[in-house]
Structure 1
């Protein structure tokens, strides 16, 4: 009985060894017959099937002057941003062009003004007038009154725009439709858009102001910035 059991065990061991050799041989044969690139590609495909599909949203399209919503065709886009604190200067953007900015080195303390030809959308002139140091109310008044007919005037403050603002200058701006120019205080943040020789649509926000308040100021002695942005229909909408 013991001899018979030993024979059975020997046959099983031999069968196991034979099966292992056959498996190794077949594996080697398949590896030789199938290119390595195909095996790698198959493995990658199996991995990709297991992974969840990745859906990438397209990046948001940038709008003119960093608007939140696009202007209709046949409209001008604009954005007027007051200065904030000592180091953040005013900006005036029109049709995605910075007309006044620190980058352009033409923004400064006081009242910043850009004049744009309404017919062409091109810049006529851009300057800033210091209302704290020096006497610039007179030159600013002439600058405003000499703006050509059918032009847009975009105005914004940085730092103080009121200390040396004369009544004559206030009247020149009030004549363009400003309701707040006579209410400006020391370092009030103010933005305004006006038209000369035609009327802007009633839907356009023309003016915004934020007065200096030591209890609420964001920058210590300066109130937070204000901005107005919008779209102006081109020539066919003009009213005289």
Structure 2
């Protein structure tokens, strides 16, 4: 009989506590209930946002190793949007810079040059013939890269490591990185053939984009 009083008190306290917990759950309450719930579930409901993937030079997903240059090349889209060449996080050619031309846009390490198909092929030959051993060559097409190429021009690009230059034709899309004196064929080359059946744009294939890390070649003359 002496335990009846304490038991009633315990029962009342339990009911009040249970009622408070239920009310907190239903009406939002303070954070005490949340802490209790987290304790029993063992995890918290807060979600940590996933970190954004880090971008490196020219937007690459990973840094280039030592003595390599980061690059990204985008060919022109039809005859409307010009090509873009990024080297070591510096934009060498782009429509924004207003320094692109229809035909072949060519950049060398430490030298930038733009060649248009409206120019005579002799200008291209004068530009390619005297290249020093080890010179890196970056090329992006715009509109039509091939109509004015002759056999010698194609041979010079072949010596720079191109395999697609032999078949490069009217309005093909082409991006390429080569080097003077390269021993093997360049691994950095893409070509999209101009074809009515596959063209993305009316009369032109889709634009090409290529990126990577190219070894920095040292001229034998240095």
User: Normalised by the shorter chain, which TM-score bucket?
Assistant: 0.7 to 0.9
Go from structure 1 to structure 2 and tell me whether the alpha carbon gap of 1:198 and 1:218 turns closer, same or farther (over 3 Å shift): closer
**Deviations 1:172-204 (Å, cap 9, x if unpaired)?**
21222222212111100011111124557x7x6
Runs of 4+ in 1 over 4 A off after TM superposition: 43-51, 197-200
**Deviations 1:80-109 (Å, cap 9, x if unpaired)?**
221122322111111111111112211121
Gaps of 5+ in 1: 1-42, 117-122
RMSD: 2.6
Aligned position for 2:158: 174
Equivalent of 1:59, from 52, 58, 73?
52
* TM-score, length of structure 1 as denominator length: 0.67
Question: 2:213 matched to 1:231?
Answer: yes
**Deviations 1:95-129 (Å, cap 9, x if unpaired)?**
1111111122111210110000xxxxxx32231x2
Q: Aligned residues, how many?
A: 184
Equivalent of 1:220, from 177, 183, 202?
202
Q: Give SS of 1:182's match.
A: coil
Go from structure 1 to structure 2 and tell me whether the alpha carbon gap of 1:235 and 1:180 turns closer, same or farther (over 3 Å shift): closer
Gaps of 5+ in 2: 1-28, 38-43
Go from structure 1 to structure 2 and tell me whether the alpha carbon gap of 1:214 and 1:150 turns closer, same or farther (over 3 Å shift): same
The Cα of 1:207 is off from its aligned counterpart by: 1.6
Go from structure 1 to structure 2 and tell me whether the alpha carbon gap of 1:74 and 1:148 turns closer, same or farther (over 3 Å shift): closer
Q: Is the 8 A contact 1:205 1:230 kept in 2?
A: no
Matches within 5 A, 1:154-193: 154-193=138-177
Matches of 1:47 and 1:89 in 2, distance apart?
60
Go from structure 1 to structure 2 and tell me whether the alpha carbon gap of 1:190 and 1:198 turns closer, same or farther (over 3 Å shift): closer
Q: Give SS of 1:181's match.
A: coil
Q: Comparing both structures, which one devotes a greater share of its residues to helix?
A: 1
Equivalent of 1:138, from 122, 125, 144?
122
* TM-score, length of structure 2 as denominator length: 0.72
Structure having the higher Rg: 1
Equivalent of 1:148, from 122, 126, 132?
132
Aligned position for 1:196: 180
**Deviations 1:206-234 (Å, cap 9, x if unpaired)?**
32111101111001111012233221234
